[in-house]
Structure 1
Amino acid sequence: MCFYEHLRFTCGDWKWGNFREHCNREYRIGETCGMKLVYTTAEVRNKCKLCDKVDTKLRKREVELARINRWQQEGRYPASVEKSQESIKILENEIRSLYAEIAHRRQAIGNQNGSSRSYA
């Protein structure tokens, strides 16, 4: 039960920070016992890496949609419209997989907090 910093992002996600202090259970010098406890919680003013990736993909999708709308209003570039529609489908699949990864990570964190323990 060694102590680590706890970093919490604005999106609600978190991660372990730097090691801070040894616990009483550790008898080897320079080693940690393997269990992590929160020393302090620091609020980070930005989003986690996965949420940043989602935001980037959403912005790219919006740019492609605006480009398609402009081209369709002009009545030009049908091949480019098709290519942009394919790239939008790819972006939507990537966004969907990132959201699934975020949900899986948060569900796994919930299971670590004791919801999956069996005391029988």
Structure 2
Amino acid sequence: MCFYNQKRFACGDWSWTSFAHRCNYEYRTGETCGMRLVNTTEFETAQCRLCEKIETKYRRRSAEMDRLTRWKREGGTLVASMDKSQKIIMDLEKEIRQLQRERDEKRKALA
């Protein structure tokens, strides 16, 4: 039951930060017992790494979708570019789902 500081992000996720102090159960010098308890919680206004990645993918997908609708509206001269853009959108959606699944698994493991 060694004590660590915790960082809580705006999205609700959290992570361990620095070691605070050792408990009485571990007698070896420089060792910790393996159990982590929260000493203090630091609140971050930013989101966690996974949420930032997901937001970035959403913005990129939105830009690709806007580009694709503009090309369709202006005419069908850029068919190869439209096909490539559709593939990029599908790949981004797959990456977003994978990141969201990773975030959900992390939250379930800690709950």
Structure 1 length-normalised TM: 0.89
Gapped runs of 5+ residues in structure 2?
none
Tell me which residue corresponds to 1:114.
none
Number of the residue aligned with 1:11: 11
1:22 partnered with 2:6: no
Identity in percent: 51
**Unaligned stretches of 5+ residues in structure 1:** 111-120
Cα distance in structure 2, aligned partners of 1:73 and 1:20: 60
The runs of 4+ residues in structure 1 deviating greater than 3 Å are none
Structure 1 residue 77 corresponds to structure 2 residue 81: no
3-state DSSP of counterpart to 2:47: coil
Deviation string 1:36-90 (CA, Å, 9 cap, x unpaired) is 0000011011111100110010011001001001111110311101100000000
Task: Please provide the CA RMSD for this pair.
Answer: 0.7
TM-score, reference length from structure 2: 0.96
How far apart are 1:29 and its partner, in Å?
1.1
> Per-residue CA shift, 1:61-120, capped at 9, x if unaligned?
00100100111111031110110000000000000011111111100011xxxxxxxxxx
Give distance in 1, aligned partners of 2:103 and 2:74: 39
